[in-house]
Amino acid sequence: MAFSLPALPYALDALEPHIDATTMGIHHGKHHQAYVTNLNAALEKAPDIGTKAIEAILADLPSVPEAIRTAVRNNGGGHWNHSLFWEIMGPSAGGEPSGELGTLITSSFGSYSAFRDQLKAAGVGRFGSGWAWLMHEGGKLSIMSSPNQDNPIMDGKRPADILLGVDVWEHAYYLKYQNKRPDYLDAWFNTINWGMVSQRFGAAKQ
Q: Which residues bind Mn ion (CB under 5 A)?
A: 167, 169, 172
Q: What is the separation, in whole angstroms, between the first and last Cα of the chain?
A: 30
CB of 127 to Mn ion, least distance (A): 17
Proportion of the chain in helix, strand, coil states, percent, rounded to 5: 60, 10, 30
CB of 149 to Mn ion, least distance (A): 8
Fill in the DSSP letter of residue 29.
I
Cα separation, 98 vs 76, in Å, equals: 33
- Would you put residue 161 in left (φ > 0), alpha (ψ -120 to 50) or beta? alpha
CB of 168 to Mn ion, least distance (A): 9
* Position with the least CB separation from Mn ion: 167
CB of 81 to Mn ion, least distance (A): 7
- Please say whether the dihedral angle defined by the alpha carbons of residues 153, 157, 163 and 165, taken in this order, is positive or negative: negative
Q: Which is nearer to Mn ion, 83 or 198 (CB)?
A: 83
CB of 113 to Mn ion, least distance (A): 26
Q: Which is nearer to Mn ion, 140 or 180 (CB)?
A: 180
Q: Which is nearer to Mn ion, 80 or 169 (CB)?
A: 169
Cα separation, 93 vs 69, in Å, equals: 37
Whether residue 115 contacts residue 109, with contact meaning beta carbons closer than 8 Å, is answered with yes
Q: Which is nearer to Mn ion, 19 or 144 (CB)?
A: 19
Q: Which is nearer to Mn ion, 169 or 201 (CB)?
A: 169
